[in-house]
Amino acid sequence: MELQSQDKKWIVMKKIWTSFQGNRLCFLNDKVFAFQPDNKKITQIYEINNTKKQYDKKNEIVLQGNDDGSMLFPQKFIKEQSLLVNKYYTFANLMRLDEDGKLLSKLTIEFNTYGIFGTISPDGEYLITWNYKTKEIEVRKYND
């Protein structure tokens, strides 16, 4: 069922009810997106079902950390590397999306403080964070 808004610019394709608030949403490609519920140790993956014209929950991955209510470190997906960066509590979780659309944990960085804000560079080579506790900006370079 498609609902049109009054301005006719955006069409609501699907409403997905959740029993909890969400902090982070990120498209992984045109058909798949990631959703991180607030204070839940998971990231859920949804994929469009073209036959039904709706999004279905495909899988989820368990994250390290405790409750996380911070919305100031958005999820970001690096398409060329199939890499999703997701902050949860004191951890930055880097996950790879495989060919089957399943998220696999690649690397977890612990910051020892809840007050971490940051992002990853468009090519996935650099992770930049600001640490509330130390008041420092840290730039990390990925090494294989």
Q: CA torsion, points 74, 68, 45, 75, in degrees to nearest 10?
A: 10
pTM of this prediction?
0.71
User: How do the residues of the chain divide into helix, strand and coil, expressed in percent and rounded to 5?
Assistant: 0, 50, 45
* Within a domain: 103: yes
User: How far, in Å, CA of 28 to CA of 47, rounded?
Assistant: 10
Q: 29 is in which domain, residue-wise?
A: 21-141
Count of CB atoms within 10 A of residue 83's CB?
19
Whichever domain contains 91, its CATH number is 2.130.10.10
* Within a domain: 7: no
pLDDT digits (tens, 9 = 90+) for 80-94: 999 999 888 888 899
pLDDT at 7: 59
Tokens standing for residue 81 = 């590397």
* Within a domain: 16: no
* Within a domain: 68: yes
* Within a domain: 10: no
Q: Which residues contact 36 (CB under 8 A, 6 or more apart)?
A: 22, 23, 24, 25, 42, 43, 44, 63, 75, 86, 88
* Within a domain: 28: yes
User: How far, in Å, CA of 28 to CA of 46, rounded?
Assistant: 10
pLDDT at 10: 73
pLDDT digits (tens, 9 = 90+) for 4-27: 545 567 777 778 888 888 878 888
Count of CB atoms within 10 A of residue 97's CB?
20
Provide the domain count of the chain: 1
* Within a domain: 3: no
* Within a domain: 4: no
